[in-house]
Structure 1
Amino acid sequence: MTVVGFDFGTTNSLVSVVVGGRVIDVTNGEDGGRPYPSVVKYEGERVVVGREAQASLDAVGIGIHGDVVKSPKFLLGQEVVSVGGVDRSPVDIVSHVVKHVRAESLRSARKEDLGNLDQAVVTIPVTMDGERRAALREAFASAGISITQFVHEPLAALYGFIRSAPDSAEMARRLAKRNVLVVDWGGGTLDLTLCRIDESEIRQLRNGGSDSIGGDEFDKVIRDEVVARFRAQSEIASSDAAIREAELRLLQDAEMHKVELSGEIEKATFYRGGYFESGSALHYSLSRQELDEFTRPLISAGIREIESLLDSLSMAVGQVSMCIVVGGMAAMPAIRARLHAMFGPDRVRVPANSATLISQGAAWIAKDQQRLRLAKPIELELARGSRIPLLAAGTEMPLGGSSSTEVLHLYCADPTDGVAKFPVVTPTALSPKPRASEPRTALGMLAVDVDVTAPPLHERLALKVELDDDLVLSLEASSSRTGDRASDSYFDLEFGLELPSTGLDEALSDPEQQDVRAAEVPTGLVIRANLTDDKKDQAAVPGDVLYEHNSAAFARHARPGVTEDQLTEHLYYQPCAVCKRPWGAPECRCGS
């Protein structure tokens, strides 16, 4: 059975497959070997997809904007969208693109290498939430392709970068014990992942990015600035509005000229006859210098995203050994210049196959039969600062069509405020066995109503933990007494991939190797977890609550059964026996 890599991109989509130890991009040779545009056009009952749909943006007249969907990936998660006055499902629109790419690939010169093209490792942005992932899976299924595994796009790119190297073992050794940042700047999103090559494994330290500064946003800014400057130099009144269809065509020009100016040419000419309602044409010559000026705020926003990612781990720029840049925007000189200024030219790599590396990485993952694993454990905070693992680091993620479920039973140590709190955390830094003192990053918290009259450690609570094939962790907490339930899901998890056999085991067993650890940041208010997994754990009960339900525990003869913390907590809420002032009042001089 052949499993391919499939990059369903915002702007273009591509299938890659590994044949005889070499990765092949499956493209249309008659179209210059380019990927397939993610564009759909509706002509009544006829559906036009890909290059023909994209070309029609310049070939048809009034009304085209209502019949064409460009970048349908962004529509996933919505129930219905209106296209040309017709309500359509985003899942169906995406399915049209996937069907087109599948059909064209099976008609290509590489059709014999693809099998039935019904199994794929599919890449997704790190910012794509669980609902959109489920919709994407449904769209692929409708197109006849089963998704065996989702993989974050920048993680796939890094795996492809290592596997595509002339000597992948040597490349892995070069990156051993180092931090690598992958910047995937595509048409729809800026995706970031900071990884560490460690213990024969690529592990994500932290993901980040934005879906508001992709290449499509650059195109809009370029178009709007060109129109504004042309109006100013030609003294065209603001009341002379642009024709809507002409605006759409000019957006395509902006995308085309952006690519041209990222190459060898220094100037590109915009021309659209009858652009304005008055019949006036638009004619403007755009220089590369102006392009850099127009797009500087967007590029700066991207740089700030990178800085924010590093700051979240208290990591200096100098601790990043390599920055790999992929995606369509990687060709833009201004972006590369800013990254060179940030990391230094010797640490920034823009692979020759940067536009197709994500799809190629997915193909290698499929070929090597790699399974995504959790890079860090997922933990539940318990009373007194202890934690229990919900999922261990290294847990394999379920493959397509499967999931794993476990139910934990807990007890409420402090029902005073009528709420049981379930804080979910993960270690901030990578560590095979994180210590209790190491900082944690909060993923979220569930809260369930409990019986406020119940004694501590009596009310039984349940926590259902489910991990599904969309790489989503779902939690559901419930109370046996009140029947209250709360649920939440988390998609922003970090993962790891095993490297192919590279002889790294010995090199990575260096006892002096240090994990990159985030500095502990002082915080303000904290949530006092009130759960325990041991019904007899009296030490987990706050002293004030224990006294209320079992004052005998504080009798002198029983004092050894009460911890110092519990004694302090009990006394804190008791007024001075002499002056009746509260704990710590400076006026109290009674010594009680």
Structure 2
Amino acid sequence: MAVVGFDFGTTNSLISVVQGNRVVSFLDDQGLPVPSVVCYEGSQTIVGREARERLGQAGLGVQGNVVRSPKTLLGRESVFVGGVERSPVDIVREVVEFVRRQALDAKTVRNLDADRAVVTIPVMMEGHRRALLRDAFRMAGMSVVQFVHEPLAALYGYLRSSDDFDATLRHYDRQLVLVFDWGGGTLDLTLCRLVDGLLIQVGNDGTDEVGGDWFDDELKNEIERRVRATRSLSDDVEVQAEGRSRLLHACERAKIDLSQRSRVNVYVPNFFRGLDDPDLDFPLSREELDAIVAKLVNKGLARIERLLDREGYSSAAVAKCLATGGMANMPVVRARLHELFGPNRVHVSERSASLISEGAAWVAHDEAKLHLAKNVELVLARNSYMPLLAAGLEMPQEGEVRGDKFSLYCVDPTDGFGKFELMAPHRPGPKVLPDDMRRPLTNLVVPVDSKAAPFRERLQLDVTVDENLILKAQARSLNQRGSAEAEVHDLEFALALPTGKRGWLGAERIEGEAGDGPKPAKGGLVMRSNIASYEDNKLVPGEVLYRFAPLYFDTRNGPPQLQVDERLYYEPCTYCKRASNDPLCTCASAPRTPQVGSNRPSASA
């Protein structure tokens, strides 16, 4: 039984499956993906294009009996639809069931069960929302084999469907590819490096603040403002209860049409209330549309520069920009991408509506497993790094958990807390150097016995990754019995293409171009780790160790100068009792008169 690919999108959803050596996508009667819209009419539930058309005609949004983009509602306890309280998980289930049923009814593929799927998700989708999405699929009769980031699935599908697969892999080997997925609900970015057939996420970024729905809303507000100004209509002139929702639908249609035409007419009958001419009629040119949405376009494209800057690359380092999603079809977006990367390095997919679903289908067909792209490390005392989960670790699939347990020590319990800081190198792969740049993942602070000697307070750290790709860290102190928990939802992953090679899964160190990589940040505060994986007095701060083992600092024992300096730095002056770094302390340079009966020499002796 084939595992299908399922792109459950904010605005549209689609199932694809690999049949033989080609992908079959189950589009609707208009040859398009299924709109992610649900309409409730009494005991009847309407899903897909018919529900979308009712949204356009009746103008009822989530405040009425139509729910648009139900994925955005995941995480809420409930929403009111047509006066009825409903669970967002149930609403999502309606869409999943409809899309699955449409695929089964198509009879295009023999013996299709569509009960197991590789499901795509936005890169910034929180872990608890992934878990709710999994619940919705389970309720719809489908199990989620694994989640895959939408832009990563798009790139996988682009490569697998190329005319000469092997030649394409050779061409982009060791190169950076940026996937730019701008849909109706979210803008998702992933920067990948292709290494011996392994797609490795170098960095991700995403936002739901500039999706196509925001463009529609901006256009709706501006058109109403201009029509009121042209017709000298004050704010006292009311709009029909369904008017603005119908205008929103018309604006979405106009935005799409202006990708192919230079001018359209936005017409909404019976828009205003109480006027002899209640219709809204507004001619809109492509240039006017570009001006109206310019701020949103700039905000979206700025995410590219933000991602590249964060990872330490220029646009010139990107070998290919793969643009998908409906917004990539806007001429102004294409033009700006061409300005940034050059026309030859930008590919706007002609299968933009289905590429993500196709990629998920190829992942399912190839049985490609997600692997951790970067080490998960614990910062130890004296700024060393302990690998907790190694890059290349196969990520858990449905019902699985991966992880490990670690027994540790607190080297300095003075402030009463054990401080755990989890980091990930910017460089992918298992082989990283101590001076490679790292980014913080999460911190845990656990109460410990502040009076304990170094290494007497034992600590336990459990790190796991579950089927929803949520990293969970649980820390405990065994003496004080303190505990803390934290989660990480934004890990980077890798997918192995079916080439027979294993990339850095064979322990290769990933090398970029000279000068690549992020630059160290200047200034800022850092948390000093007081955790160790083994007992060694050299890891204990000098001023702390002196209280418990003063003979350690006997010069005949050769104590490390760093610990000697630490002890002296925090020890007050013997004479004036000021801190050692206090500029008012001049005792070391002033002559001293020995006290009567004292054998201590003066400072000048």
TM-score bucket (shorter structure): over 0.9
SS at match of 1:544: helix
| 2:168 corresponding residue in structure 1 | 171
The Cα of 1:495 is off from its aligned counterpart by 0.4
> Which deviates more from structure 2 when the two are superposed, residues 283-292 or residues 43-52?
43-52
2:299 paired with 1:301: yes
Give the secondary-structure state (helix, strand or coil) at the position aligned to 2:520: coil
Query: Are the aligned partners of 1:169 and 1:502 in contact in 2 as well (CA < 8 Å)?
Result: no
Instruction: Please tell me whether residue 369 in structure 1 is matched to residue 343 in structure 2.
Output: no
* 1:549 aligns to 2:548 (yes or no): yes
Structure whose CA Rg is larger: 2
Bigger shift: residues 104-113 or 162-171:
104-113
Root-mean-square deviation (CA), in Å? 2.0
Give how far 1:363 is off: 0.4
Map of 2:192 onto structure 1: 195
Which deviates the most, 429-438 or 98-107? 429-438
More displaced stretch, 566-575 vs 133-142: 566-575
Q: Which position in structure 2 is the counterpart of 1:108? A: 106
- Give how far 1:578 is off: 4.5
Distance 1:382 1:61 in 2: 58
Aligned partner of residue 420 in structure 1, secondary structure: strand
Aligned to 1:134: 131
Q: Give the alignment partner of residue 273 of structure 1, picking from 265, 269, 272.
A: 269
Match of 1:225 among 222, 225, 228: 222
Tell me by how many angstroms 1:567 deviates: 1.1
**Structure 2 SS opposite 1:16:** strand
Q: Corresponding residue for 2:599?
A: none
CA distance in 2, matches of 1:273, 1:23: 42
Shift of 1:237: 1.2
The match for 1:17 is: 17
CA displacement 1:228-254 (0-9 Å, x = unmatched): 111111111111122231111111111
How far did residue 579 of structure 1 move? 4.8
For 2:483 and 2:59, the matched residues in 1 are separated by 55
Structure 1 unaligned residues grouped into runs of 5+: none
Question: 1:313 maps to which residue?
Answer: 311
Q: Which deviates more from structure 2 when the two are superposed, residues 222-231 or residues 4-13?
A: 222-231
Residue matched to 1:476: 474
Give the 3 Å change call, closer, same or farther, for CA 149–450 of structure 1 in structure 2: same
Match for residue 495 of structure 2 among 497, 503, 526: 497
The percent of aligned pairs where both chains have the same amino acid is: 46
Distance 1:64 1:487 in 2: 36
Q: Which runs of structure 2 are paired with 1:30-429 in the superposition (5 Å)? A: 31-60=29-58, 65-112=63-110, 115-263=112-260, 265-279=261-275, 280-429=278-427
Work out the CA distance in 2 between the residues paired with 1:9 and 1:512.
Answer: 35
Q: Deviations over 1:294-336 (max 9, x none)?
A: 1110000011111111111121111111111001111111111
Cα offset for 1:511? 10
Distance 1:80 1:169, change over 3 A: same
Q: Would the alpha carbon gap of residues 188 and 426 (structure 1) be closer, same or farther in structure 2, given more than 3 Å must change?
A: same
Q: Deviations over 1:66-113 (max 9, x none)?
A: 100000000001111111111110000000000000011100132426
Return the offset for 1:65: 4.9
Q: Return the offset for 1:346.
A: 1.1
In the aligned structure 1, how far is the partner of 2:486 from the partner of 2:503?
Answer: 38
Q: Deviations over 1:491-542 (max 9, x none)?
A: 1010001122177979x989986484222223322111000111x2211111
User: Which residue does the alignment assign to 1:527?
Assistant: 527
Corresponding letter in the other structure for 2:444: L
User: Helix, strand or coil for the counterpart of 1:407?
Assistant: strand
- Tell me how far apart the structure 2 counterparts of residues 386 and 556 of structure 1 sit (CA, whole Å): 27
CA contact (8 A) 2:25 2:358 kept: yes
Q: CA deviation at 1:273?
A: 2.2
Whether the 8 Å CA contact 2:239–2:273 is kept in 1: the answer is yes
Q: Which amino acid aligns with 1:19?
A: Q
Q: 1:511 to 1:392 in 2, by over 3 A?
A: closer
* Residues 81/529 of structure 1: CA separation in 2 closer, same or farther (3 Å cut): same
Kept after mapping to 2: 8 A contact 1:173/1:504: no
Q: Partner of 2:64: helix, strand, or coil?
A: helix
Which amino acid in 1 is paired with 2:467?
Answer: D
Task: Check 1:87–1:504 CA distance in 2 against 1; reply closer, same or farther (3 A cut).
Answer: closer
Q: Evaluate the alpha carbon distance shift between residue 303 and residue 60 of structure 1 in structure 2; reply closer, same or farther with a 3 A threshold.
A: closer
Q: CA deviation at 1:58?
A: 3.5
1:281–1:511 Cα change, 3 Å: closer
Aligned partners of 2:47 and 2:98 also within 8 Å: yes
Provide closer, same or farther for how the CA distance between residues 511 and 36 of structure 1 changes in structure 2, counting only shifts above 3 A. Answer: closer
Measured at CA, do residues 513 and 11 of structure 1 come closer, stay the same or move farther in structure 2, by a change above 3 Å?
closer
The one-letter amino acid paired with 2:451 is T
- Asked if 1 retains the 8 angstrom alpha-carbon contact of 2:399 and 2:467, the reply is yes
Give the secondary structure class of the aligned counterpart of 1:401: coil
AA of the residue aligned to 1:251: L
Name the aligned partner's letter for residue 17 of structure 2. V
2 CA distance for matches of 1:503 and 1:403?
26
**SS in structure 2 opposite 1:469?**
coil
Match of 1:27 in 2: 27
What is the CA–CA distance in structure 1 between the aligned matches of 2:62 and 2:273, rounded to whole Å? Answer: 17
Gaps of 5+ in 2: 590-602
Conserved? CA contact 2:309–2:518, under 8 Å:
no
The structure-2 alpha-carbon separation of the partners of 1:65 and 1:346, relative to structure 1 and needing over 3 Å to count, comes to: same
Alpha carbons of structure 1 residues 144 and 540: separation in structure 2 relative to 1, 3 Å: same
Structure 1 length normalisation: TM-score? 0.95
Structure 2 CA distance for aligned equivalents of residues 526 and 503 of structure 1: 40
User: Retained in 1: the 8 A contact 2:196–2:501?
Assistant: no
* In 2: Cα distance, 1:41 partner to 1:275 partner: 22
SS of 1:475 mapped into structure 2: strand
Q: Distance in 1 between matches of 2:57 and 2:241?
A: 15
Count matched residues: 584
1:545-573 deviation per Cα after TM superposition (whole angstroms, max 9, x unaligned)? 1111222222334x33x322211111111
- Check whether the contact 1:63–1:245 (CA below 8 A) recurs between aligned residues: no
Contact 2:392 2:430 in 1 (8 A): no
Q: Which whole-Å CA distance do the structure 2 matches of 1:248 and 1:500 have between them?
A: 47
* CA distance in 2 between partners of 1:64 and 1:364 (Å): 35
Q: Deviations over 1:202-223 (max 9, x none)?
A: 1001100211100111111111
Q: Aligned equivalents of 1:463 and 1:510: distance in 2?
A: 28
| Letter of the 2:154 counterpart | A
Name the CA shift for 1:336/1:371 in 2 (closer, same or farther; >3 Å): same
Paired AA for residue 445 in structure 1: N
TM-score normalized by structure 2?
Answer: 0.93
d(CA) in 1 for partners of 2:225 and 2:478? Answer: 64
Residue type of the alignment partner of 1:553: Y
Contact 1:173 1:502 in 2 (8 A): no
Q: Which stretch shifts more, 415-424 or 425-434?
A: 425-434
Residue identity matched to 1:296? A
Q: 2:598 maps to what in 1?
A: none
Q: Does the residue aligned with 2:97 lie in a helix, a strand or coil?
A: helix
Tell me the amino acid that sits aligned with residue 567 of structure 1.
V
Which of 457, 462, 465 lines up with 1:464 in the alignment? 462
